[in-house]
Structure 1
Amino acid sequence: MQLNETLLQKYAQVMVHYALNNGQGIQKGDTVFLVGQEIAKDLFVAIAKEIYAAGGNLISNYLPNNMRDTSLARYLLEAGSDEQVGFFAQPYWKGIVDATDHILFIISEPDVHYLEGIPASRISMMNSARAPYMKMREEKEQAGKLSWTLCLYGTQSMADEAGLSLEEYWEQIIEACYLREDDPVSRWKQVQAEIEAIKDKLDALAIETLHLKGADVDLTVQIGANRKWLSGGGKNIPSFEIFTSPDWRGTNGSIRFNQPLYYSGKRIAGISLQFENGVVVAASATENEEALKEMIAQENADKVGEFSLTDRRHSKITRFMATTLYDENMGGQFGNTHIALGNAYKDTFTGDMAAVSTEQWAEMGYNSCPKVHTDIISTTDRTVTATLRDGSEKIIYQDGQFQLD
């Protein structure tokens, strides 16, 4: 299945004129690092042309498809030495980050299970090698000089994994991204304004802690001082979530997740986590538990970096899509809650990020884990009650939507 030219062009316009530059679109002379696989060639080319038409510059990273029999990553993991798996071309990636104003990544999986059978420890070794690149990106983003965004290109493998036809899968993408609107860029800006209004109300509450209660959750999350709530603001397309980076030290209780996690090419399902004083003290999964524990065993990946809620009234995503970008934004009957284990987003800080030292981030309870930021999602019913700094309590989320009026 291929998108027609009109839908392709609209998708490219959304990504270039809204998503990049934190919801503002690129400026003439900006340089975009565009990453995608050959299966997404038509969208890759449409976005590249739109970047050029907007007066931007392009650095292209066009990759062969990740299939079990053609994936270079799989071949390296199977046949390469530890030194090769852990290789990191520091000068090259530093040059990319230095030259880039925006990064746009097209998610597409021609074979969802292309890393099946590879030991989780081997995959972690490869992921760890890229930690310096993620650190360079984070530092430039904190200085306000870099933006990034993601979008999805549907494949037969992803549709099969989600239990949908390819047409049904693409229908979710088209609806979620407003691609049938006459002006999807303007529509996105309208939706973003509505979400920003909710975010502003959350900031005004001065929340100390949140208590999540439901059949599969009894969890307390400490928000912490000097935090604000954020929305996608172009960073993900689509994005309807509202999130913050909590003080990891104040997470206590238990939570189960009814949505599977896809991590390093593996499906991890039936996840349960138990927290004590911010640290995961028990973790289990009904499928690929080894991969879950391997992930959590990495330094600081056993702590929370993000807490997020999605209001079902905004999201048009109604089906499981087997990819975090969509599943963390699912609407449906009860919206969704997700937490991320690993690195915290520092742009939730209310002050000047560039003026904060590594030690000060740690003192404020921002988790530091450049190797991991993994969202785990639940779409079951829950009530979220906030305890405010004056000691009062207020239900802020119930029946899948915010309760802030």
Structure 2
Amino acid sequence: MLTQTEIEKYAEVLLWALDVSRAEPLRAGNTVAVRWDMPALSLAEAVYANLHERGVHVAQRMKPTSTMEKTFYSSASRAQLEHQLPGEMELTRALDGSVYLLAPQSLTHLADVDPENLSTAARARKPLRDVLEEREQAGLFGWTLCMWPTEALAKSAGMSVDDYAREIARACYLNKADPVAEWRGVHARVKELRAWLDGLGAESFRVESEHVDLTVRLGELRRWLGVTGHNIPSFEIYVSPDWRGTQGVYYADQPSFRSGNYVRGVRLEFKDGRVVDAEAEQGGEFLRKQVAMDPGASRIGEFSLTDSRFSPIDRFMATTLFDENYGGTHGNCHLALGASYPGTYAGQQSELSTLLKDELGFNSSALHWDLVNTEAKTVTAHLRGGETRVIYENGQFRM
């Protein structure tokens, strides 16, 4: 497992990330929620201590155990699925930041639960996410999350817990003397790459690999983001495209653990921006019910690429947080079905109304599901004026 020194470094990295995710660093008097799974208690305590030292008010919340989740989603009435606890919206409207410490004790405990129950609960919680999104657009809120090693994660990834912990430490630079300095360096390099992508004048991107032939329209007033502080670790560079311009076939060769379900070999066919066919080698029924969750669940909200030179992650980790940042030999491409990221709007965040989002093709949904492809691929940008340019191949950007 992680040593006490690594835990303290992890907490420091998370506070750096939370500051980066906000318009301004945290200050005394701000309110931050720390939510953790039970195995991550020692990290929660370290994060709490750091926030408390900075004069921040902390709302501490332990998340339900896997047994609690199974009980809830298996037997809850519709009223229970849709219920919002008293004070939850009030707290949400007061938050300046959130830290999520993920440490799942099971990855497949909801496999026999009706997916509609999961969808009902997700739709009921969307108003809370909308409030946080609005606060983030106004520069009032930021968030970050990370992973804690557990038996369930390690077993699903084919590792011991100690080996899994070492992979976390390596990917988050906890084995370095000054992890925060390492992350500042990554942040600077990715910022240069984002500026290059923004300056290309691209209208669309075509992704081609053994099982993928997909075209994604960038859309108007877009900017690329990466190392925003939202995830630790994070090496991806991403954008929320105009969902209406998605055409072709996408395939996720990386398995996915989602809402207590295991899904493998996802194949999606898009026409006029919507999924018209969704198949999976395993978990197909769950996939199709997720895609039908709401009107936006069948459309994409994110398109992302990871450069293998940045990411030290080179093996399957059984969690999207790491797998969407896979470096390996060929890097990775991933797209997300569902909600878009308003932060990729290139104008003033305060002017990005719901109406403007719709006009620009920013997707809205209770779903956000990242699906990862690690095959060797070529990504070609189609530029304004009709020219084309290969921007990504052999796992690296061609800057």
TM-score range, shorter chain: over 0.9
User: Match of 1:26, SS?
Assistant: coil
The aligned residue for residue 6 of structure 1 is 5
Query: Which residue type is aligned with residue 330 of structure 2?
Result: F
What CA deviation, in whole Å up to 9, does each residue of 1:71-124 have, x standing for no partner?
2222122222211122123x5222112221111001110111221211111221
Q: Secondary structure at the match of 2:36?
A: strand
Counterpart residue number, 1:321 = 317
- 1:42-61 pair list within 5 angstroms: 42-61=42-61
- Is there any run of 5+ residues in structure 2 with no aligned partner, and where? none
8 Å CA contact 1:20–1:235 kept in 2: the answer is no
Pick which of 113-122 and 211-220 moved more.
Answer: 113-122
Amino acid at match of 1:40: A
The question of whether the paired residues in 1 share the 8 Å contact of 2:97 and 2:143 is answered with yes
Instruction: Tell me the residue number matched to 1:28.
Output: 28
Matched, 1:396 2:391: yes
* Per-residue CA distance 1:101-152 (angstroms, 9 max, x = gap): 1110011101112212111112211222211111111111111110011100
Give the alignment's TM-score, normalised by structure 2: 0.97
Matches of 1:344 and 1:105, distance apart in 2: 20
Q: Which residue of 1 aligns with 2:91?
A: 96
- 1:153 matched residue in structure 2: 148
Q: CA deviation at 1:339?
A: 0.2
Matching residue's letter, 2:379:
V
Cα deviations by residue, 1:339-376 (Å, 9 ceiling, x for unpaired): 0000111111111122233222111111111x111110
The answer on whether the counterparts of 1:124 and 1:295 sit within 8 Å (CA) in structure 2 is yes
Alpha-carbon distance between aligned partners in 1 of 2:62 and 2:25, rounded to the nearest angstrom: 22
1:232-261 per-position Cα deviation (integer Å, ceiling 9, x unaligned): 321100000000010011110111110012
Indicate the percent of aligned positions where both proteins have the same amino acid. 38
Q: Distance in 1 between matches of 2:346 and 2:310?
A: 26
Q: Does 1:138 align with 2:124?
A: no
Contact 1:238–1:325, Cα closer than 8 Å, also in 2: yes
Residues 102-141 of structure 1 mapped to structure 2, 5 A cutoff: 102-141=97-136
CA distance in 2, matches of 1:213, 1:64: 41
2:57 and 2:169 mapped to 1: Cα distance?
A: 27
What is the Cα deviation at residue 186 of structure 1?
1.3
- The separation in 2 between residues aligned to 1:64 and 1:122, in whole angstroms, is 16
Q: CA deviation at 1:227?
A: 0.4
Residues 24-65 of structure 1: CA deviation (Å, up to 9, x unaligned): 753333221000022111111111111112222211012353
Kindly provide the amino acid, as one letter, of the partner of residue 7 in structure 1.
E
Q: CA RMSD for the aligned pairs?
A: 1.3
1:256-286 residue CA offsets vs partner (Å, 9 max, x unmatched):
1100122211011010000011010011001
Number of the residue aligned with 2:14: 15
Q: For this pair of structures, how many residues does the alignment match? A: 397
Q: Which residue of 2 aligns with 1:311?
A: 307
Shift of 1:21: 4.2
Aligned residue for 1:286, secondary structure, equals: coil
In structure 1, C-alpha distance between the alignment counterparts of 2:103 and 2:32, rounded to whole Å: 19
Question: C-alpha separation between the residues in 2 aligned to 1:249 and 1:237?
Answer: 31
The answer to whether the Cα contact below 8 Å between 1:16 and 1:25 also exists between their aligned partners in 2 is no
The residue type equivalent to 1:262 in the other structure is: F
Structure 1 distance, partners of 2:198, 2:76, is: 49
Tell me what 2:276 maps to. 281
State the alpha-carbon separation in 2 of the partners of residues 307 and 64 from structure 1.
31
CA distance in 2, matches of 1:193, 1:282: 40
Hey, what does 1:298 align to over in structure 2? 293
Amino acid at match of 1:333: T
TM-score, normalised with respect to structure 1: 0.95
Bigger Cα displacement from structure 2, 37-46 vs 329-338: 37-46
